[in-house]
Amino acid sequence: MTTIHEVAAAAGVSISTVSYALSGKRPVSEKTRRRIEDAAQTLGYQPDAGARMLAGRRTHIFALTEPLRADTHAPTHMAFVLATAVAARRRGYDILLLTDEQTSDGMNRVAASNLVDAILVLDVAPDDERVDIARSVRTPTIFIGLPDDQRDLTCVDLDFEAAGHLAIDRLADAGHAAAHLLGQTEVSYRKSNFPRRLLRGVEERAADRDVVLTWTATGAAATDPALVRRSAEAALDDGIRAFVVHAVDDVHDVLLEVLDERGLALGVDASVISAAASFDTSVLAAPIDTIPLVPQQSCELAVDIAVRHLDETNVPPEIHLIAPEYHGAGSVRPPRD
Amino acid sequence: MTTIHEVAAAAGVSISTVSYALSGKRPVSEKTRRRIEDAAQTLGYQPDAGARMLAGRRTHIFALTEPLRADTHAPTHMAFVLATAVAARRRGYDILLLTDEQTSDGMNRVAASNLVDAILVLDVAPDDERVDIARSVRTPTIFIGLPDDQRDLTCVDLDFEAAGHLAIDRLADAGHAAAHLLGQTEVSYRKSNFPRRLLRGVEERAADRDVVLTWTATGAAATDPALVRRSAEAALDDGIRAFVVHAVDDVHDVLLEVLDERGLALGVDASVISAAASFDTSVLAAPIDTIPLVPQQSCELAVDIAVRHLDETNVPPEIHLIAPEYHGAGSVRPPRD
DNA sequence: TTGAAAGCGGTACCAA
DNA sequence: TTGGTACCGCTTTCAA
């Protein structure tokens, strides 16, 4: 194991100079720095993590708590975990996993033992137990998602309400007087917060713009293709030609299938917008207008905020809502004048 | 932040006694131990992670490398990650995530900086780049899965070949002279190792027992329901009434659907065995005989071995194959005498 | 621009 | 059964 002493000896300097040269926290003459870097390079020097934590009061580790519920959509969840890990590494941080039963105890433990510099919270529930813990620990905690009670919390999330507004606006602009929302699973409307927020946004704007709105959740816990089909067909039977889909890929597939069966051309006879989908919508049978939920965006922002909490002192708690973006693909009728 | 000194003061003992009392590495009189534990409890003492690493030469962290490929089956993958995390925590270890691009660099980094006590390797490829790194680092590394070249490696995995043997044996015992294997995705036969191993086991034993074997992969990258249906129907048309399924849940569903359509009763007219499925087969439409792949089993064993490598010196590398178990559910014709 | 040295908060050896 | 203390390897202040 190469230590800083060996690097110092090899470069003919003191260990403090090595430390400063490598961290850049103190100016070091160009040529000694080069000598030190060369020595570190050839010796394969990597500072000891424990020593660095102890002396530097920085662990360079973030905890990521992810309580895996039975109804968790695995691909979406993985996308968020991955995006967080990538964003963290880019800033020089590793991710320590805190799973299920460990959530509360785990958060307290890693905070009390100074194992991590910050905690990132995934899969946030409306009445999340981690909210209280976040308030009680000194470790900066960033929620990726919004709990109901956001007092004193730092959160990052897509602005789902604005996404709902945006979707309805586009459909109304296209002249639709009625729209149907194919929503998330029933259980998610109770266990999560974002489906309700999108729904609220859609409802609000539909009321504002005199769009008659109907909606259905897509199955009890798992998505139910038959149910999706039935509700899509019922909407079509009612003369509705505008759809907002806030659901996983399968649901999109079913809707497109039904439209196809009825000979309704996307962007001509019928309009479809995929709202807050976190998967790659290009895998669908047809191009669809989307208001995507980009895990990389949320997670990167969360990591940035975490880092800021460490670098600056007294960063006030804040709710960061990410503005939705509309990506047109021709699945919505052109606006009529 | 509570330190060991405060606990010692509160209990009226020296810090070394506190350390020993809490670690149990030296006998401490019953009543002083109680006093110390009380003090630690009320003060909410949690040893500083960095200090513990530095002084104890043990980080109590395992790295988990998981290179997420595009064809990774998210639910299965999550099951393994979760099982690993749970098993590790039970032994007092946390899991540090090493994702994708970071795999090689990441392993070297965490090993060189003594950030982790051991490395667990998930999603092992036949020609995995992590094999060489495992050989070069001092950090004990356990593969959950088998690469082609296993020299000097410690690996844990289900004995897929034995699972293949077992499946064919049961079908042959039931009097089937022909069987069809519905396999994994095509890409997995190239990118992974276990599909081939199961296939080999099935082929070997089929040859031994004079069972005519046919098989198909289920789709190019993603599972293709239509393809599954076609190959199941073709097999039935050929008079085959015995199936081994080594695939995700959807494939099982399609097969059961086809059998149902043809009025073939499971366990009477036709036999089906699900081999090495890592999902809960009780969600299927009908009960099916299984030879399950239990993530908890593999991951717990891997963690146990990692711990053993830390507690004992000079544990030799070894391949640990987990014997498959047969769980009957009546989906295979009773053996004929 | 560089070096010496005082910690950081534990662990574990050596004494008592 | 307990206490004193020398590290563990690095960061950072204080001096030069």
Domain A160-292 has CATH 3.40.50.2300: yes
Q: How many CB atoms lie within 10 A of CB B175?
A: 14
Q: What is the pLDDT of residue B179?
A: 97
pLDDT tens digits for range A272-285: 999 999 989 988 99
Q: Are A61 and B57 in contact (CB under 8 A)?
A: no
Q: What share of chain A is helix, strand, coil (3-state, %, to 5)?
A: 45, 15, 40
Q: Starting at the earlier edge strand, list the strands of the sheet with A178-182.
A: A212-216, A178-182, A242-245, A271-275, A289-291
Interatomic CA distance for residues B164 and B287, integer angstroms:
20
Residues in chain A, total? 337
pLDDT band at A65, cuts 50/70/90? very high
Tally C-beta pairs within 8 A across A and B: 121
pLDDT tens digits for range B166-176: 999 999 999 99
Phi then psi dihedrals of residue B208, to 5 deg: -60, -40
pLDDT tens digits for range A83-139: 999 999 999 999 999 987 667 899 999 999 999 999 999 999 999 999 999 999 999
Q: Which residues pair with B272 in a beta bridge?
A: B243
Over range B297-310, report the average pLDDT.
97
What SS3 state is found at A67?
A: coil
Q: Are B273 and B210 in contact (CB under 8 A)?
A: no
Fold agreement between A61-157+296-322 and A160-292: yes
Interatomic CA distance for residues A40 and B115, integer angstroms:
18
Chain D nucleotides covered by protein, CB below 7 Å: 1-5, 7-13
Q: What is the pLDDT of residue B337?
A: 58
- Residues of chain A found within 8 Å of residue B72, distances taken between Cβ atoms: 78
Q: Which two tokens stand for residue B303?
A: 């963690």
Q: How far is A241 from chain B (nearest CA, A)?
A: 29
Of all residues in chain B, what percent carry a pLDDT higher than 90? 87
Over range A48-77, report the average pLDDT.
93
* Across all strands, nucleotide nearest B58 (CA–C1'): C11
What burial letters (b/e) apply to B96-135, b meaning 16+ CB within 10 Å?
bbbbeebbeebbbbbbbbbbbbbbbbbbbbbebebbebbe
Q: Which residues pair with B155 in a beta bridge?
A: B143, B319
Interatomic CA distance for residues B331 and B290, integer angstroms:
9
- Which one, of B185, B265, B261, lies nearest residue B227 by Cα? B185
Interatomic CA distance for residues A252 and A286, integer angstroms:
10
Determine which helix (DSSP H) or strand (DSSP E) holds A143, and give its type and residue range: strand A141-144
Interatomic CA distance for residues A125 and A188, integer angstroms:
9
Interatomic CA distance for residues B284 and B273, integer angstroms:
13
Residue A240's alpha-carbon distances to A184, A216, A269, in angstroms, are 20, 14, 10
Q: If one looks up domain B61-157+296-322 in CATH, what number appears?
A: 3.40.50.2300
Which residue numbers of B have CB closer than 8 Å to A's CBs?
1-2, 44-54, 59, 61, 64, 68, 72, 74-75, 77-78, 81-82, 85-86, 89, 94-102, 106, 109-110, 112-115
Interatomic CA distance for residues B2 and B51, integer angstroms:
13
Q: Are A195 and A189 in contact (CB under 8 A)?
A: yes
Domain spans of chain A?
A: 4-45, 61-157+296-322, 160-292
DSSP string, A245-310: E-S-HHHHHHHHHHHHHTTPPBTTTBEEEEES--S-GGGSSS--EEE---HHHHHHHHHHHHHHHH
Q: What is the pTM (predicted TM-score) of this model?
A: 0.94
For residue A35, the 8-state DSSP code is: H
- For residue B253, count CB atoms less than 10 angstroms from its CB and return exposed for 0-12, middle for 13-18, buried for 19 or more: middle
Q: What is the pLDDT of residue A283?
A: 87
Taking the alpha carbons at both ends of chain B, their separation in whole angstroms is 73
Q: Are B276 and B303 in contact (CB under 8 A)?
A: no
- The shortest CB-CB distance from A48 to any of B51, B61, B113 is to B113
Q: Do B114 and A53 touch (CB under 8 A)?
A: no
Residue B96's alpha-carbon distances to A85, A133, B121, in angstroms, are 10, 22, 12
Q: What is the pLDDT of residue B72?
A: 86
Q: Are A273 and A206 in contact (CB under 8 A)?
A: no
pLDDT band at B1, cuts 50/70/90? confident
Handedness of CA B52, B58, B59, B61 (dihedral sign): negative
**Residue B15 beta carbon within 7 A of nucleic strand D:** yes
Q: Which two tokens stand for residue B132?
A: 């060489």
Amino acid present at B101: E
Over range B70-75, report the average pLDDT.
86
pLDDT band at B225, cuts 50/70/90? confident
